C-alpha cells in the first residue's frame, strides 16, 4: 500500500522560530510536493521537486525553503515562522510523467502564535 | 481568473438524491483530469480519473468537455458517507487543484 508519511501532525510554534516539516514516501516516486491548504483558498503549491537535490518554486514560495537530499524525503523549512503561516501543510508524491496519481500525506497542522 | 474554478457550495441534499458538480479550467493544454475527495481534517484521496469518453465507477460518473473546458462529477443515490469536499484536479505542466465543493448528504 502506498504511503506518504508526515512525521509531525500537530505543531504550535512561536513567531520567529525555525520550523521543519518532514515528509517521507515509500513508493520510489520521483516527484514530491508541498502544499498548504486554507479555507476558501484550496491547495496552493509551495515547492516541488522532480529529483534528488532538485527543487522548483510553486505559487507561494515566499517564507519557505525545501530540501531533498534523498529520493524518499522532502523537507519543508520555515526559516522564521510568522502568524500568516498558520495552516495545514500537505506533502504529496507521484511517479514521473503526466497524469499520474498524486498521493498525499495526512497533513501537518501548524499554528504560529 | 483562477486556473481551476469550482462552485464552493455547500450542496445540501437528502439521501438518495442525485447531485452534480462542475469544474472549469482555463488552460486548454491540460492533459489529464481527476476528482479527489477530502473528508474533514483529512488528506485528499483520489476518487476517480476523468477520461475523454467519460467514465463511471458505481454511483459516480465523470465527464470531460474539452471544447467548453469543464469536467463534471455526478453522484447518484447519495449516501450519508458521500458527505465530503470534492476537489477537481487538472494537469498541464503541473497539477492544479480547485478549491473544492462541499457536499452534505442528510438523512
**Residue A45, SS3?**
strand
Does position B81 have pLDDT exceeding 80, yes or no? yes
**Residue A5, SS3?**
strand
For residue A105, give how far its alpha carbon lies from the nearest alpha carbon of chain B (Å). Answer: 7
* pLDDT per residue as tens digits for the range B64-78: 999 999 999 999 999
Does position A21 have pLDDT exceeding 70, yes or no? yes
CA distance A48 to A65: 10
* pLDDT per residue as tens digits for the range A89-99: 999 999 987 77
* pLDDT per residue as tens digits for the range A49-99: 999 999 999 999 999 999 999 999 999 999 999 999 999 999 999 998 777
Q: Collect all residues with Cβ–Cβ distance below 8 Å to B70 and sequence separation of at least 6.
A: B22, B23, B24, B25
CB pair distance less than 8 Å for A40 and B99: yes
CB pair distance less than 8 Å for B43 and A90: yes
Write the residue in A42, A94, A102 that is nearest to B99 by C-beta.
A42
Q: Best residue in A40, A58, A101 to probe B by mutation, most B CBs within 10 Å? A: A101
Amino acid at each position: 500500500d502506498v504511503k506518504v508519511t508526515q512525521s509531525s501532525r500537530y505543531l504550535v510554534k512561536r513567531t520567529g522560530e525555525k520550523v521543519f516539516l518532514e515528509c517521507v514516501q515509500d513508493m520510489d516516486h520521483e516527484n514530491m510536493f508541498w502544499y498548504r491548504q486554507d479555507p476558501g483558498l484550496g491547495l496552493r503549491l509551495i515547492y516541488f521537486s522532480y529529483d534528488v537535490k532538485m527543487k522548483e518554486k510553486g505559487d507561494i514560495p515566499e517564507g519557505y525553503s525545501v530540501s531533498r537530499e534523498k529520493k524518499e524525503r522532502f523537507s519543508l523549512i520555515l526559516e522564521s515562522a510568522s502568524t500568516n503561516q498558520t495552516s495545514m501543510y500537505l506533502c504529496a508524491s507521484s511517479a514521473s510523467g503526466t497524469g499520474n496519481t498524486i498521493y498525499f500525506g495526512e497533513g501537518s497542522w501548524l499554528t504560529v502564535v | 481568473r483562477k486556473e481551476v474554478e469550482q462552485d464552493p457550495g455547500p450542496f445540501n441534499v437528502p439521501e438518495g438524491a442525485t447531485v452534480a458538480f462542475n469544474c472549469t479550467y482555463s488552460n486548454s493544454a491540460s492533459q489529464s483530469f481527476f476528482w479527489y475527495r477530502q473528508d474533514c481534517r483529512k488528506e485528499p484521496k483520489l476518487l476517480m480519473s476523468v477520461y475523454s469518453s467519460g467514465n463511471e465507477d458505481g454511483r459516480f460518473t465523470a465527464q470531460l468537455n474539452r471544447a467548453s473546458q469543464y469536467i463534471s462529477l455526478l453522484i447518484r443515490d447519495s449516501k450519508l458517507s458521500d458527505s465530503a469536499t470534492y476537489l477537481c484536479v487538472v494537469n498541464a505542466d503541473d497539477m492544479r487543484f480547485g478549491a473544492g465543493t462541499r457536499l452534505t448528504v442528510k438523512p
